[in-house]
Amino acid sequence: MLRLFLLGAVLYGAMFIYVWLASQWDERANSDAIVVLGAAHYNGRPSSVLRARLDHAAELYQEHRAPVVIVTGGMAEGDRVSEATVSQRYLVARGVPASAIVVQPVGRNTRESVASAAEWLHDRSLETVLLVSDPFHMARLTAEAHAHGLIAYTSPTRTSPISETEEWRRLAGEAIKVPVVWGRRVVGK
């Protein structure tokens, strides 16, 4: 039993290190699209977490990293507008042309949001994405993108309040979630 516990601890430790390393990478590769993962908003006003992601995506767009920005995120209970729609409005106000923003207003989690973006991309024979979210999210986000047939690069925001207050706790959770994504891919679900 002790050996099993030690093996589990070693595997978890290795996964934690992988997730932490992935949170540090900023590839900023030119891609077919920048994909921004949604986050909370309050009556149409993006939360500070969502603003950090969108500000970073706008910066990447201005650097000509991709011709389009795909914004994701559905509606939580009580919402009148989707995270994706709030994101579109914010980006337009920051100078990103509306014609360069693709709104994918479905998905209440990472898997659904990536699936939605992947469907849009595959319909246009596109496959490379520059993923934008919080640093802790990068390893799982990349795994989901690969599971949906995308070639993924990452560029995490460095201004999210999560990075200042919850980063280590979130990294610890992701060290469990990433193997789940890999496992789903192995069993074909």
**Whole-angstrom distance, CA of residue 96 vs CA of residue 67:** 10
Range of weakest confidence among 106-110, 118-122, 170-174, 184-188:
184-188
At 184 the pLDDT is 82
At 129 the pLDDT is 98
19-187: CATH, from 3.40.50.360, 3.40.50.1100, 3.30.420.10, 3.40.50.620: 3.40.50.620
Percent of the chain with pLDDT over 90: 78
Residue 79 has pLDDT above 90, yes or no: no
Q: What is the DSSP letter of 157?
A: -
Alpha helices in 25-109 (DSSP H): 48-62, 83-93
Closest CA to 70 of 93, 46, 96: 96
* Model confidence pLDDT, tens digit, residues 139-151: 999 999 999 999 9
At 71 the pLDDT is 98
Calculate mean pLDDT across residues 158-185. Answer: 88
* Model confidence pLDDT, tens digit, residues 6-58: 888 999 999 999 999 999 999 999 999 999 999 999 989 999 999 999 999 99
β-sheet bridge partners, residue 36: 71, 132
Residue 87 has pLDDT above 90, yes or no: yes
Backbone angles phi, psi at 41, to 5 degrees: -140, 160
At 138 the pLDDT is 97
Residue 189 has pLDDT above 60, yes or no: no
**Whole-angstrom distance, CA of residue 135 vs CA of residue 22:** 8
Distance of CA 15 to the CA centre of its chain: 19
At 182 the pLDDT is 87
Residue 3 has pLDDT above 90, yes or no: no
pTM, full prediction: 0.92
CB 133 within 8 A of CB 56: no
Which residue is it, tokens 């070693």?
10
Higher pLDDT, 164 or 45: 45
